[in-house]
Amino acid sequence: MSGVFSPTRAKIKERTLRTDKWWLEPAITFAVLFSFIIYATFRAFEGANYFTEPLISPFYSPCLSQACVAGSTIFGWTPVSAEIFNFALSPALIILIFPLGFRMTCYYYRKAYYRAFWLSPPACAVAEPHTKYTGETRAPLILQNAHRWFFYAGLVFNVFLTYDAVISFKNSEGQWGHASVGSLVLLVSSTLLWFYSLSCHTCRHTVGGRLKHFSAHPIRYKLWTLVSVLNHKHQQFAWYSLAGVAFADIYVRQVATGAWTNFYFF
Amino acid sequence: MARKLNLRIWRGDATDGGLKDVQVDVNEGEVVLDVIHRVQATQMGDLAVRWNCKAGKCGSCSMEINGKPRLACMTQVASFGEDETITVTPLRAFPVIKDLVTDVSFNYKKAMEIPAYEPPKELQPGEARMQQVDVERSQEFRKCIECFLCQNTCHVIRDHEENKKSFAGPRFFIRIAELDMHPLDMLKNRKRTAQEEHGLGMCNITKCCTEVCPEHIKITDNAIIPMKERVVDIKYDPARMFAGLLKREKRN
């Protein structure tokens, strides 16, 4: 017997005496994240319906594979083979590790999935079911320390997705000066991704958090205070940006399949 | 106007114990500690409860109220429904002594293991000067009243007694962070020992310490995560190590 049932502790048989709906938050988190995982997996393997001039799904951008459909690549740059070991590789699978790794190692998402998926703990002051716990000291969880590498990669991806949003202000003939619902969807999605990245704890550390001496570095201190303001909302940006990316992909897919028409404002 | 409150209080010691139901008068504006005192005065004269300031500043009356780690003196009875039974137990992460009193000496042992502030050798007493922006950062951590609610709710030790040997807990991570962020602290290896001796890597950022802190210290966001990032600087970031950036910043 360990934990709250250890011999020296108060003899209480319940795992928790909380009377509020402590299970609701992890249950909602589980439902939403699990739904996203299922959808994202389906889309990553689908390998189709990710591009319709001038819109490209964020799941497939940058499109680096020789399997990418015409017009979806960046200046025709396709350095990755369409097949690996005779296995047809969806263009999404090539780049998936970067956004996935960024979110998997994110300090907010760690809280969310440790609670909702691994029940470690399911909620505060609710005894977890595991008999042993080593935290993030051993493989594979020690890899959480790679968060900053994914953060840097995420910034590069944000540039690509912002580029996608900019070129979406063309019409389907490639002429500039047009705006559609799709343009707004990609613009909002990429903007939310910037807020998510810039509010990241690693970003806060990088711009100034690692300093011992704020007064000796006034510009980095100012940057740190600005990122700290965003950092307070990191959880919200994590969810909003996830929803933004998912909706952008759904929108592009629906337009690409012909189910929806991309309405042009002008 | 007084009304009756249904209260369940854990009574017992390390050998045995259980929840006892009592009914007690409660007046408007009273906190849980008030009704516990009334029970002690009128029905259970030998009820053990630790308390001191009744103002949320001494950290003595930490207990679990309806399963949540809280200060009894800062928990309004009116925050619960009128028909709701309030259940009061001792902290469940520490050995119980009697009734609502637990042995929190684990925390004092851990406090002694944290190396103290080490000023520059050439600095004489009274000569230290700090800019306000440098003071403010660690000022937040100095608000800690040592109620140990964060220690109590941290699942690393609450749910795993065996981890107490190797894990200092959130209260002491804010102490380490405070010192590591101090411009005049000269102690080397504070980051490394935080990870290798005080168990920083055991924390999985589930933020329960922040949720229960009565002083609203952002323990996870402002202390634990920044310390984890500092550990990454020295242990898991080859680019920083090879570029020698680390050395340069040590001089800051």
Q: Do A212 and B252 touch (CB under 8 A)?
A: yes
For residues B119-137, give the mean pLDDT. 92
Taking contacts as CB-CB distances below 8 angstroms, the residues of chain B near A221 are 133
A85 in any annotated domain: yes
Domain architecture of chain B: domains with CATH: 3-102 (3.10.20.30), 105-250 (1.10.1060.10)
Quote the pLDDT of residue B237.
Answer: 85
Count structural domains, chain A: 1
A98 in any annotated domain: yes
Q: Which two tokens stand for residue B238?
A: 């080859």
Report yes or no: B14 at the A interface, CB cutoff 8 Å. yes
Q: Chain A neighbours among B 111-140 (CB < 8 Å)?
A: 130-131, 133-134, 137
Percent helix, strand, coil in chain B, to 5, is 40, 15, 40
Taking contacts as CB-CB distances below 8 angstroms, the residues of chain B near A128 are 155, 159
Q: Chain B neighbours among A 129-148 (CB < 8 Å)?
A: 130, 132-137, 141-142, 145-148
Helices (H) and strands (E) in chain B, counts: 11, 7
Residues whose CB is less than 8 angstroms from the CB of residue A154 and which lie 6 or more positions away in sequence, other chains included: A98, A99, A102, A193, A197
A262 in any annotated domain: no
DSSP class of residue B220 equals: I
Q: Give the sign of the dihedral formed by CA A42, CA A45, CA A48, CA A54.
A: positive
A11 in any annotated domain: no
Report yes or no: A117 at the B interface, CB cutoff 8 Å. no
Domain that holds residue A141: 18-257
Q: Which of A189, A33, A39 is nearest to A104 (CA)?
A: A33
Interface predicted TM-score of the whole assembly (ipTM), two decimals: 0.94
Quote the pLDDT of residue A172.
Answer: 83
Nearest to A17 among B66, B207, B249 (CB): B66
A2 in any annotated domain: no
Query: Taking CA atoms, what residue in B is nearest to A214?
Result: B134
Quote the pLDDT of residue A49.
Answer: 95
pLDDT tens digit string along A17-65?
999 999 999 999 999 999 999 999 999 999 999 999 999 999 999 999 9
Report yes or no: B185 at the A interface, CB cutoff 8 Å. yes
Q: Do B96 and A8 touch (CB under 8 A)?
A: yes
A167 in any annotated domain: yes
A119 in any annotated domain: yes
A1 in any annotated domain: no
Q: Do A130 and B236 touch (CB under 8 A)?
A: no
How wide is the angle at C-alpha B153 spanned by C-alphas B97 and B156, nearest 5°?
100
Quote the pLDDT of residue B249.
Answer: 59
Bridge partners of A180?
A264
